[in-house]
Structure 1
Amino acid sequence: MQALREAEAELTVYVHPSNAADVRRAVARQLSTTLFSYEDRFDGVLLAHEVIVDGGQAKILNGLVPFFGVLVHANLLLYSPQPDMILEGKVELLGKESIHAIVLGVFSAAIMSDDINERFKFKRRGDRGKFISRSDKHHVIRKGSMIRFSVKRVDTEMNCHITGSLIPPHTGSMHWLSIHDAEYTSEINSHIRRSGNIRIKIEQNEQDHRTLDNEDGVISSERPHKSRKRALEE
């Protein structure tokens, strides 16, 4: 998936004195409070992190409770969608006027009727509906389908809510594309191993985010640097 990228960043994490006995764990807790929400300094949503603590440098904040700063070098996995990128998501809701999907099990995306290719026709049966290709009745998008779509707009105020499109080529039902679209099939085969490693990283950090208790602290940083800007395929 093109929206996933790796980056490196230098951070200063301010830790409460009560956590001085285990600085590494305290730093991990502070970074975990930023998981799965958009951060301007990262230009994306932090999904996973690996940190190296520099124990040789520290800075004390003035105040009644003197937090101390720890210099951290962090390797980050970021979700940073941009217009014209190709994403994948699971359809959660659809109707004649729109398709709503979830990306990476967390982030929302909406595809409105104007951005659904004319080759698809909406059909309703009972209380459910589906989009069927006019050229191939086996190309179907329904609730629960995995779809591939293009990014039109990204709303960072809504935690990277995406407005998408099914008009560009190589978009639609991922199941159908995997059989009938040679370019998409080749892309899957060349990156299938890498996707497993990324999924493990995200799931592990999501679990840590749920189980770790919040602690008082401050994180300051510059934007990530030395970004490898490598697209990671899911």
Structure 2
Amino acid sequence: MEGLTVSDANLTVYIHPSMTNKVRGAILTQLSSLLFRYSEDLEGVLLAYQVNVRSKVARILPGLVPHFGVKLKATLLLFAPKPGMFIEGKVVKIGRESIHAIVLGFSSAAIMLGDIREEFKFQIEKGTETYISKSHKGHRIKVGSIIRFALKSMDEEILHISGSLIPPNTGCIHWLSKYGMEHDPHTKRSAKRRLEKERDSGSSHSAVPRRPHKCRRTRRE
């Protein structure tokens, strides 16, 4: 899934003097408070971290209640999707006008009717709301399906995502993993261009068969 990045960062965590004997615990507490929230400094949502304290020497900051800063190196797992990226989510609700999903277990996503390509038709199948492809009957989207969709926008404050199922390589992951490569027009065009390129390359380097050389015999007198 796009939008997930792992990055190394040099951070400074400010600790209250009362936590001088529990520095590591104080560091983990502060970093944990950033989990599953959008951070402008990190330019993404922090999903996980691993820290390594760079120095045991802390810098005391003056003030009414002096704090001390601890420098550390952290490896961060961030969720920072951009418009146009393809992300995945689990469908939790389906209606005639929209599909709702949860991304990575914490962010809600909505795909409105205008962003669902005409290939999909809403039906109630055996009491279950389902979007079924008119081109490929086996391609179904229902509650519990894992779908891939394109990100249109993301509300960073409430972590709400607006998505789209317009691109042809979007839909139910289970179906796409089996048949998507065969029916994706972009993949077909790429494969066709690759075959044509290989064919042209092969013809240009093909060896021209030579006619066998005939040896002349010399008759002895």
TM-score of the superposed pair, with normalisation by structure 2: 0.77
- Cross-structure match for 1:174: 173
Matched AA of 2:181 = A
Quick one: higher RCO (CA 8 Å, sep 6+), 1 or 2?
1
Q: 1:118-197 residue pairs with structure 2 within 5 A?
A: 118-125=118-125, 128-159=128-159, 161-182=160-181
Q: Secondary structure at the match of 1:12?
A: strand
Q: Report the Cα offset of residue 126 of structure 1.
A: 7.3
Percent identity at matched positions? 53
Aligned partners of 2:135, 2:54: CA distance in 1, in Å?
60
Matched AA of 1:104 = L
Q: Secondary structure at the match of 2:55?
A: strand
Q: Rg: which structure is higher?
A: 2
Aligned partners of 1:79, 1:115: CA distance in 2, in Å?
23
- Cross-structure match for 1:2: 2
- Cross-structure match for 1:106: 106
The question of 1:45 aligning with 2:37 is answered no
Q: Secondary structure at the match of 1:96?
A: coil
Q: Report the Cα offset of residue 52 of structure 1.
A: 1.6
Aligned partners of 1:138, 1:104: CA distance in 2, in Å?
26
Q: Secondary structure at the match of 1:118?
A: coil
Q: Report the Cα offset of residue 53 of structure 1.
A: 1.2
Aligned partners of 2:53, 2:158: CA distance in 1, in Å?
32
Aligned length: 183
Q: Report the Cα offset of residue 183 of structure 1.
A: 7.9
In structure 1, the gaps of 5 or more residues are 185-234
In structure 2, the gaps of 5 or more residues are 184-221
Question: C-alpha deviations, 1:162-213, integer Å up to 9, x for none?
Answer: 11111112110111111102389xxxxxxxxxxxxxxxxxxxxxxxxxxxxx
Aligned partners of 2:172, 2:78: CA distance in 1, in Å?
25
> Alpha carbon RMSD of aligned pairs, Å?
1.8
Which deviates more from structure 2 when the two are superposed, residues 88-97 or residues 64-73?
64-73
